[in-house]
Chains A and B, each alone.
Chain A
Amino acid sequence: MIEFRGVSKTFPDGTRAVVDVDIVIPPRKTTVFVGSSGSGKTTLLRMINRMVDPTSGQVLIDGTDVATREPVALRRGIGYVMQNSGLLPHRTVIDNVATVPLLRGARKRDAHAHALELLDTVGLDRSLADRYPSQLSGGQQQRVGVARGLAVDPNILLMDEPFGAVDPIVRAELQQELLRLQGELGKTVVFVTHDIDEAFLLGDQVVIMQHGGKISQAASPTEILANPADDFVAEFVGADRGKRALHITEVGGRRIVLDGDGRAAGVLAS
C-alpha cells in the first residue's frame, strides 16, 4: 500500500506542483492519476521512488516513510516505465531488460536467462534480444520498457505516460497487454496519463487531478461517472457534453449505442 499524507511540492522557482494531497493507493490494484499537463500527476508519481522529494508531508510504502529509504536502493526495488520507453540506446534489448538485476549484483547469465523469459511475458520474440532499441518499432520499444520494469519482480510498478508516444492502434494493443499482465501478475500499478479513456480502461481507482496539483476526485470509474464530485470532473470526463450520456437505437434488429452527439459508440451485448 502506498499512502500520501498531506503532501505538497513547491519547486525552487516557486511553482506549486502539488498542494496538500492525501490519497491511499491500494495494493495489487491499478491506480491511474489523470489530468492535464501542470496538474502535478507526474510529480506525485516520482515522489514514490524519490525522484522528487516533497516539500512537506509524507509518502509511505507499507507504512514506511520513503524519506528514510536510500534513494538508489529504493528505486532498484520499484519498476519504472516511462514515455518513449527511456531505453538505454547503447545497450541491446536483453541488456536493457537485465539492467536492474545487474545493478543489484545478479550474475550476468542468470539475468540474461530471466530477461529472455520476460520478453516472452510481454509478447516479444526472443530473436529481438540482440537488437539495439533504435532497431525496434515504437510499440516494441514500449514492450521492452515494460519487461525492464518487471525485471526484479517488483511489488510496485510506476508507469509515466508509457503509451503516450505510440499511434492509437498500438496504444490499444499495449493497453490490452497491460490488462492481461496485470490480471496475471497483480502488481500495485501507479499509472499517469492525460487520457481519461485510458484512465477508465486501466484504472481500478482513478484519481482526477486539476491544474495546480489538487485532487478533484479519487474513485472507481463507475463511481466517477455516477457521481462526479464537481463541475471540473464532470467536464473532464465529458459527462457535461453528453459524451458519456449514451442511448440506444435499434438498427436492423441490433441495438446500437449512440453517444450524446448521436455518434455510434458500440453494439449493446444482449
Chain B
Amino acid sequence: MTWLWSNLDLVGELILVHLALSVPAIILSFVISVPIGWLAHRYAWSRGVLLSLCALLYAIPSLAMFVALPPITGLGLRSPVNLVIALTLYGIAVIVRTAADAFDSVASDVRQSATALGYSAAGRFWGVELPLAGPVLLSGLRVVVVSTVSLATVGAVIGVQSLGSLFTDGFQRGIEAEIITGIVATILLALLLDWLCVMAGRLLMPWSGPRRSRRPALSDVRSIEADPA
C-alpha cells in the first residue's frame, strides 16, 4: 500500500493515458463495425467473407501487429496512434459478428411494418433497425470495452505508456505492489467503463431490459377481463 500512496500521481496519470488509448479505440471499432455488420446482415452473399476477414484480424499476434503497423502508418514505433489502430482492429474482430447478429435480431414483421407505414430506407435504418439492434449491439460493445482495456496494457512492451507500464516497470524493478496495482487498476477501469455502458443503455433504451410489472390500473380491468393474454 505504501507504494501506491507514494505513487498516486503516477497511477492517476497512467489511468488517464490508458483511457486516452482505449476509449478512442472502443468508439472507433464500434462505429466501424456497425455498418460492416449491417452489410453482412443485409447482403447474405457478403456475410461469410466480411465476418471471416474481420475474425481473422484477431488471429494476428499483438506484438507482430505492433511491429507491422508503424511502417504502414509511417508513424514512429512508439506513437500511441499505432496502438489505437491496433486496438481498433482487434475491437472490430470482436464485435462485428455481434453487430450482424444484432441486425438479424430485429423482427421481420417490425421491419415490414415500418416499410408499410412509409419509412424511407434511411429513416427505417436510423429510426427502427438501429435502435432495435441496440440491446445486442450493447452486449457486443461491453465485450469490446473489457477486452480493449485489458489489451491496451500490451503496449507497454513496445514502450507505449499505459497501466501496463506498471507491470513492465514493476517486473523489471521487482516491485510486487506496482504489478498488483497495475492489474487491479486495469480491472477496475474495465468494470467502470462496462458499468457506464450499461447505464447508457438503460437511458437510451428504456423499452428493453426487464419488463416492468405493475399493478393494472382500474381503467385496464375491462380489457384485462376480456383478454387474459
Q: Which residues of A contact B (CB under 8 A)?
A: 49, 51, 72-77, 80, 82-84, 86-91, 99-100, 103-104, 124-125, 127-128, 132, 134-135, 137-140, 148, 158, 166-167, 169-170, 173
Contact = CB atoms under 8 A, between A and B. Distances in A.
Interface in B180-216: 205, 207-208, 211-212, 214
24 contacts: A49-B116, A74-B118, A75-B117, A76-B118, A80-B113, A80-B116, A82-B109, A88-B113, A88-B132, A89-B107, A89-B207, A90-B128, A90-B131, A100-B118, A125-B217, A127-B219, A128-B220, A134-B207, A137-B229, A158-B116, A167-B229, A170-B226, A170-B229, A173-B226
What is the predominant secondary structure among interface residues of chain B facing chain A? Answer: helix
Given A82-B113, A88-B113, A137 B118 contact: no
Interface of B: 107, 109-110, 112-120, 123, 128, 131-132, 134, 205, 207-208, 211-212, 214, 217, 219-220, 223-224, 226-229
A104 B212 CA distance: 32
B116 to A, nearest CB: 4
A137 B132 contact: no
Given A138-B227, A140-B227, 7 more contacts: A75-B115, A90-B208, A99-B117, A125-B220, A127-B219, A132-B207, A148-B117
A99 B132 CA distance: 16
Contacts of A100: 117-118
A89 B132 contact: yes
Nearest to B224: A137
B227 to A, nearest CB: 4
A72 B131 CA distance: 21
B112 A169 contact: no
Contacts of A128: 219-220
Contacts of B107: 89
Contacts of A80: 113, 116-117
Nearest to B213: A135
Given A100-B117, A100-B118, A103-B119, A139 B223 contact: yes
Given A100-B117, A125-B220, A86 B226 contact: no
B123 A103 contact: yes
B111 to A, nearest CB: 9
Contact of A139 (B120, B208, B229): B229
Nearest to A134: B211
Nearest to B135: A90
B48 to A, nearest CB: 21
Given A137-B229, A167-B229, A90 B113 contact: no
B85 to A, nearest CB: 34
Contacts of A158: 116
B227 A139 contact: yes
Contact of A86 (B112, B205, B207): B112
Given A90-B205, A170-B226, A173-B226, A51 B116 contact: yes
Contacts of A125: 217, 219-220, 223
Contacts of A104: 118
B116, B220, B224 pick with most chain A CB within 10 angstroms: B116
B50 to A, nearest CB: 24
B116 A72 contact: no
Nearest to A100: B117
